[in-house]
Each structure stands twice: as structure tokens, then as C-alpha cells.
Structure 1
Amino acid sequence: MEALEISWIGALAGLALAIILILFRLAPTYSLILGAIVGGFIGGADFSEVIKILISGTQSVQGTVIRIIAAGVFAGVMMESGAAGTIAKVIVDKLGGTKAMLSLALATMVITAVGVFIPVAVLIVAPIALSVGHKMGYSKIALLVALSGGGKAGNIISPNPNTIAAAGGFNLDVNQVMLGGLVPALFGLAVAVLLASLIKFKGTKVTDLEAAELEKASAANLPPLSKALVAPILAIVLLMISPVGSMLGVQFLADLKIDSLFILPFAGVVGALALGKSTKILNYCSAGLDRMTPTILIIIGAGAIGGLITASTLPAEVVTLVQASGISGVFLAPIAGTLMAAATASTSTGVILATGSFSNAILNTGVAPLSAAVMTHAGATVIDHLPHGTYFHVTRNAMGMTMKDRMKVVLYESMVGITMTIVSVILFGFIL
């Protein structure tokens, strides 16, 4: 493989073709693999060399794939058992009233941060938000700004596929990337609450009919908070053992590097037992794996296109271009995350593409792996919510919004993402 060198034109053409096919609604996995194949041929490879590129690229992402499969156990327990719903309800009940926007944003942030996918987190909190909005007279636009902004903040500090991919792309532990995103996430939360509060009375309100339907559906049998918190607290404690040991100078703890591959399934199973759902563990595992499968397939495709780009002269050309332009190489990481997430309208797919395709180029500019991972990850939240992705439509349906109202939320969501990206660039690009 080392002797094979593909023209940067082929790599760029393959990436462009993959993105175009995704925009035309071809399944992302097929789009990415087809882009890798066509790009390989354009770049000068023959049939056997294209196969080597595909195999090498897909093999490089297997570590990320197996971690995401393992995380499915934890995600399945949190989503299917009602544990996430309990956490959301308690936060809103405790902080409701005048702190409604903070409570809604914080609830979505916490649920996403403990391993629930951001679309699912919004679906969980949306009924609570609509009920609060009806009582307070708040607009649906403001409510979704709070939910989506809080979800974005939680997403960059969660053990979700996007964080696992960001860590895997730069050979880091997932807990390092989670900790690195904490400060940007707090700024994102603050901006989401501020924006939602400024526009809380502007736009379409929750109707009496919608509120009545919510009352009927609110009789869900949720588990108690003490039991719902077992899985996330256990996961967070175990994930933080090594970083905390390093900070405190306790070598034994610092050396105890337990991978998320072991921690997340273990925490999920213990959480299910604590919830008294031992007979449903297999169902939770199946449900979690079903939710992870689309991301896993995308990662395989991203590995293929990443193999093409790694085998090409594109990374070297990108570094040369950055150096010639006089722009700091620091900006390549957030730009790559932003552009790839915008093209695919997905945080996880954007991170997977950005790290798989440009990680070498980013590192070659002199940026440290952790800094690169955090900035790429934050950049992927800027415009990952566009209409050609599922998140836009899932959240619109969850809030019962018109297309016009949902489009109004896009700008505010981007402001939250831009805030987190700027903070991450300042913190990891210039301070640390």
C-alpha cells in the first residue's frame, strides 16, 4: 500500500461524488464506497489497487465500529427503559417556571451527554417542552432552540458515535474527547438558553388541542430517578478514572485505562439490573444495536473514502495550501468538521468523514491530536441540522412545527454551534 500513490484530483473527485450522491438521497454507505471506487480510478489506480484501498480503509475504522457496537447496549438501556425520560422530567420539574428555558436545554443536554442520540433526546423532552410552553405562552421556535441547543452541547461531551469517531480518528480515548468538549459545551448551553429566552414569545404557540393530547400521553410509567441514574453515573465514573488519576498524580489510577468498549456495555447491564429489567436486557441490546447499525454502515463507507484520501497526495496538498495561504493550521480541523457535517447534515457522519479523510492533514499542520479532535467535533455542530438530514425532520415532527417555523430555528442552532467551535478553537488552538 505504501508504494501506491493516488492523484489528489482523484481523491477530491471521489469525495465530491460521495457528497453529491448523499445529497441526492443515495444511502450514505453506498455513496461513500462508490465515491472511493470512482475516485481511485480517476486517481490512476487499477482494479486490484482500488480493492486494496477499500480494504485498507475499512480495516482502519474497525476499532471505532466495535466501540460503537458495544455502546449500543448502554444506549438501548437508557432509551428503551424510560431512564432518560425520568432524568428529563426531574430536571424540568425542579427547574421549571421562570427557569423553563434553562431546564429544557439542560435536560436535553444531560440526556444526550449520558449516551442518548440527540434526535432521540429531543423526542424524549419535546412533550415536556410543549407542555411547559403551553403553560408559559412560549413559542415552539424558542422551545426547539432550547432543546436543540442543549442537545448539541451534550453531544460533544457524550459517549455517542460522533465522540467515539472523533476519538478514534485521532487515536485517543473517548473520555479525553468528552472532557475536552466540556467548556465549549457549557458555552453552547448558555447561548442556547439566552437565544431561546430572547425569542420565547415570538412565533407559533402551542395550541390547547396539542396540550390536551399531551396530557393524555403523559401517563407513561417511568422508573424512579435513583434507579435511572445508575447506568449513566457508573459509566461516567469509570470513564473518568484514568483522567482524574492523571490530574491528581495517582499513577495507579492514571494507568488504569479501561476502554469504553468495556465500560459502556457493563454500565448498561448494571443499569438494567438496577431498574429491575433483567428479563429485558436482550431486548435492550437488540434495540441499541438497531439504532447503531446506520452509523456503523456509514463508518464502513467513510473508511473506504478515508482509505482513498490516505493513499492519495491530497493530505500533503492540503497542508501545502494551508501553509501557503498564511492561515493557521489550527483552523483546518473545525473547517473540516463544519463542511463534512453540512454536506451530510449529520454530526456523526460529518465527524467520521472529517477525521477519516483529513486527520493526517490536520496533524501534519502541527495541531495536537486532542486539540484536533475537540475542534473537529465542535465544528461538526455548526450546520449539521440542514433539511437534507433526518434530524431536521425528526425534530420538526416532534414539536409539531411547520416547515417555515422549523427553518427559522436553523440560524439559532448554528449560532450555538459556532459558539462552541469558537470557544474550542480559542481554548485548544491558541491557549492550550
Structure 2
Amino acid sequence: MDGTLHWWAALIGLALAIVLILRKLNATYALLLGALVGCLLGGASFADTVNIVVSGSQSVMGTVLRVLAAGVLAGVMMESGAAERISRAIVGTMGDKLAIFALAFATMIICAIGVFIPVAVLIVAPIAIEVGSKLHISKLALLVALSGGGKAGNIISPNPNAIAAASGFHVELADVMVGSFVPALCGLAMAVLLASIMQHRSTPVSLRDLDAQEKAELAESDLPSLHSALVAPVTAVVLLMLGPIGSMTHVAWLEHLQIDALYILPFAAIVGLLAMRKGPHVLEYTKSGIGRMVNVVMILIGAGTIGGLISASDLPQRIVDLINMMGVPGSLLAPISGILMAAATASTSTGVILAAGSFGDTILSFGTAPAAAAITMQAGATVIDALPQGNYFHVTAKSMNMTIGERMKVVPFEAAVGLTMTVAATLLTIVW
């Protein structure tokens, strides 16, 4: 192909993809169609268009492999009952006085060990309803605690959003997780504060709301012990942290020990599976895990095609010129793009995938450190991602037996938690 594509064509392609997603077209097809239309409008031939979208999809294959690897850990933690055992232990240990903190913290931990945030909320929700009905806590406050805690755990987890942020900026997953730890604590604190303020100011939860759930909980006797349930996540965290620990301590062999998440996450899952004595279920659990990753992988491929369109156009340079003209710090482009893309797709992971693939090179051209870009973009994607066009909104509403109107009242509180984490992440990366 001779020359670059027109910037306005790339914008049209991106806008078309977002509109089609909002109109409920499958996200992968929406992104692919947007990329094709943008290329053709920008002046590419039919053959060049194919080359651009294929090249773009190939650029995300590293992320795809890591997401599939994460599916093994997610499947083991969810299907074995390990995640549920950990959540029950946290809430049961802290008691009624710290009930809201315990619920938020439990959801944070469940998310942090690699369970998807909607699933984490579903796991903790029955416990929250039981506790809330006894203490007369409102549905709104409970969901603010669960969702806010989940958001905090999501940015320090080996979940698809963190993997996409790390891969998009070519940094270690452990660096993104560690760098997001303080912002996650800030988000947890904000969630607990807001939930505590609202605990008696809305419709109280009751045990009848528990009856509305369709979640099949494992019997207490079927759950693994707490010690065995912790083996997989602890193994994963320890192995992921070896590189960063080596860098901080200047231990040469640790510093050069670069074990990718592609190896670590499945290995930790299998170790945990054996510790829980559920080895015979390996095929069942891994099948479940990879099934949950299929949609993420397909969206990644679609986002790669849009990234190919934008990379082949002069849009990145136009954005650089516009930001320089407005005097806005280039470091803010990462969180802003995360906020906008997650809002458009109503998904943290899809927002990060789309933002990193579309604006990653432009963000780095301002001199923003890759790790800082990944951390702030991921935090930004948690601000307004829980909107009605997305699955998370409806899954969490059902978990608390909420109407659409009741669920909408939670959105501003979720945005406050996400914004808290974004501001904290941005300030920390500026200080660094």
C-alpha cells in the first residue's frame, strides 16, 4: 500500500464499530466491520485492506495465548469451589462489625486470584444477602461494596484486562499488578466508605432476594479446605513476583528469571488442583475455563483489526498534534482512552483491549513509560464500564434481585470507585 490512510477514515471505522456494539451486534463482527469500512474509506484497496486487518489481528496473538492460559486458573478456582471457600472464610472471620469491609475485601480477593468480576460478585452475593438481611443493609450498599471491591481486585489480577494492558505495552504482567496495588487499596477504601454511608438509605435486602438467584452453590462438604484453596493463587502470585523482587533486591539470577504468565498461570492451576485432590476433574475444569475465555479472545482479535486500521492511518500523529496544541499532558491520554473505550463497550477488559490496540503507540510517543501507561489505562477502564449495554450490569442486578432502576442508582458509586483508582494511579505514575 502506498502512503497512509486518512485519519478521518480511521475515526469513522472506530465510531462505526462502537455504534454497532451499542446496537448489540457481536463485538468481534462490529470491530472487524469497522476496520474493513475504515480501510476502504481511507483509500486502501481490497487486497491492502485484507493485509491491514490480518496484520492487526496477528499483533494480538501474544495476548490471546496469555488469556487462554489464564482460563486454566480461572476454571480451576471457580469450578473447584476454591473461590467460594476463600470468600466464606474472609466474611466469616471478620464478623458483623466489619461486614461491609469483609464483603468488599472478599470480592476483591476473589477477583485478584483470577476470577472474572461478574463471577466474583455472583460468588459473594449469596453471603452478602444473608449478612445484609440480618443487619438490615440496603441492596445498593451491598452491591457498591461487592462491585467496588471487585473493581479493586480486577486491576491487580491475572484477568484479561490486566493481561491486555501488559501485552499492549510490552511490560510484565507482574509490573502491572504490583503498580496497581496502591490504587486498588484506594478503590477498596472508597467502596467501603460509600457502602457504609448508604447502608441504611435504600431498599433493604431480605432473604427473599436470595431465593431469586439461580446460582447452584456447592455444599459445604464439597468445598476444598482453605489451605488447599489458597495453593493455586499463592503459587501464581509468588512465581509472577520473582522478576520484580529480583529487580528490587538486585539479585541477578532472579532479575533475569523471566517466566511468562503463559507458563505460570496454568502451572499454578494444576498445582492447586492436585493440592485440592481434584486431579480427576482437570479436563472438566479446564474446559470450563477456556469456555469463559472464548468471548475475550474473539474480542481481542476484533480489536486487533481496529488497531491495524489506526496504525496504518495518520490518526496517531493527528492526536499528538491536537494534544500538543491543547496543552494537555500526554500522560493523561492513557486513562482517558481507557475511560472512553470501556464506557463505549461497557466492559473493562474490552475497553483496555480496544484502547491499547488503538492508542498504545500514540500514548508512548509522548514519552509515557509503558508500565505507567498500562496501569493508568486499566484503572481508567473501571470508571464507567458498568453500563446497561454490557453484561456486567445485568448479571450484578440479578445477583441482588434489583430492578433496572435500582441498578442504575449504583452506577455513580461505581464510577466514584473507578475514578478514585484512576486518580491514584495517575498521581503515582507521575511521582515515579
TM-score bracket for this pair, using the shorter chain length: over 0.9
Shift of 1:4: 4.3
Could you say which residue in structure 2 is the equivalent of 1:115? 114
Amino acid at match of 1:390: N
Amino acid at match of 2:431: I
| Kept in 1: contact 2:316–2:361 (CA 8 A) | yes
Amino acid at match of 2:200: F
CA separation in 2, counterparts of 1:265 and 1:305? Answer: 30
Give the TM-score taking structure 2 as reference length: 0.98
CA separation in 2, counterparts of 1:95 and 1:20? Answer: 45
Deviations 1:54-89 (A, max 9, x none): 111000000000111111111100010000000000
Amino acid at match of 1:241: L
Shift of 1:204: 1.2
Give runs of aligned pairs for residues 11-90 of structure 1, distance below 5 A. Answer: 11-90=10-89
CA separation in 2, counterparts of 1:74 and 1:212? Answer: 30
SS, match of residue 410 in structure 2: helix
| Kept in 1: contact 2:348–2:382 (CA 8 A) | yes
Could you say which residue in structure 2 is the equivalent of 1:155? 154
Give runs of aligned pairs for residues 147-226 of structure 1, distance below 5 A. Answer: 147-210=146-209, 219-220=219-220, 221-226=222-227
RMSD between aligned residues = 1.4
Could you say which residue in structure 2 is the equivalent of 1:298? 299
Could you say which residue in structure 1 is the equivalent of 2:380? 379
SS, match of residue 52 in structure 2: helix
CA separation in 2, counterparts of 1:408 and 1:213? Answer: 20
Shift of 1:218: 7.5
CA separation in 1, counterparts of 2:306 and 2:121? Answer: 31
CA separation in 1, counterparts of 2:420 and 2:310? Answer: 30
Shift of 1:46: 0.7
Deviations 1:27-71 (A, max 9, x none): 000000000000001111110110011111000000000111111
Shift in CA distance, 63/129, structure 1 to aligned 2, threshold 3 Å? same
CA separation in 2, counterparts of 1:273 and 1:293? Answer: 25
| Kept in 1: contact 2:129–2:207 (CA 8 A) | no
CA separation in 2, counterparts of 1:310 and 1:239? Answer: 31
CA separation in 2, counterparts of 1:98 and 1:300? Answer: 47
CA separation in 1, counterparts of 2:291 and 2:346? Answer: 21
Could you say which residue in structure 2 is the equivalent of 1:431? 431
Shift of 1:409: 0.4
Aligned pairs, number: 430
Shift of 1:210: 3.7
Could you say which residue in structure 2 is the equivalent of 1:359? 360
CA separation in 2, counterparts of 1:212 and 1:402? Answer: 15
Could you say which residue in structure 1 is the equivalent of 2:342? 341
Deviations 1:257-288 (A, max 9, x none): 10000000000011111111111001111000
Shift of 1:169: 0.5
| Kept in 1: contact 2:27–2:302 (CA 8 A) | yes
- In structure 1, the gaps of 5 or more residues are none
| Kept in 2: contact 1:134–1:211 (CA 8 A) | no
CA separation in 2, counterparts of 1:404 and 1:212? Answer: 20
CA separation in 2, counterparts of 1:86 and 1:210? Answer: 22
Amino acid at match of 1:240: M
Could you say which residue in structure 2 is the equivalent of 1:231? 232
Structure 2 residue 238 is matched with structure 1 residue 259: no
Shift of 1:207: 2.4
Shift of 1:96: 2.3
Identity %: 57
Deviations 1:229-273 (A, max 9, x none): 000000000000010111011111011010000000000011111
CA separation in 2, counterparts of 1:93 and 1:233? Answer: 21
